[in-house]
Amino acid sequence: MTLHDLEILPIGKKTSSGRYYDLESAEKIISEYERQVQRLGNYYGCYEDSQDYINYGDPDVVSIKNIGFIVKDLKLKGIKCLTCTIIILETPKGKQLKRSIRDVVFRPCVWGFVKEDGRVVIERLISINSFSKHIDNFINED
């Protein structure tokens, strides 16, 4: 299963916690993504099916048991959002993701810090995750 032109991060839109990502944040995510693609050949994403979907650790190591998809063609769509193509794999997590596809979102998981005004400054891209849209911080935000 392949999902084309999928929005994974709105630019300039505040989350329910008052954080937002600007063009500089998006460009850092793209740069980190390209570094990993060059290093590994592909960029693998994780499907997280629990409420505690972020597992911190070494930002260069993704837990193989959570890999569910490949991320291709990560790019800016104008100045509004980051988009990509998602290719869902036939791994255990990929199969779970296929069954839950109508109920998930795809979002980057990053290391960084938040400025006083809520702007997220990104230091590293940890992964791109898929998780329940019911716990998405962008949900129900204008």
The CA distance from 63 to 53, in Å, is 12
pLDDT digits (tens, 9 = 90+) for 25-78: 999 999 999 998 998 889 989 888 754 445 555 555 567 788 899 999 999 998
How high is the mean pLDDT of the chain?
Answer: 86
Residue 53: predicted pLDDT: 45
The CA distance from 119 to 115, in Å, is 5
Tokens representing residue 6 in the block = 């999928």
Placement of tokens 């992964």 in the chain = 127
Residues above pLDDT 90, as percent of the chain: 53
DSSP letter for 65, please: G
Q: Residues 51, 63: contact at Cβ < 8 Å?
A: no
127-to-46, 69, 72, 100, 109 alpha-carbon distances in Å: 7, 11, 13, 20, 5
Residue 40: predicted pLDDT: 85
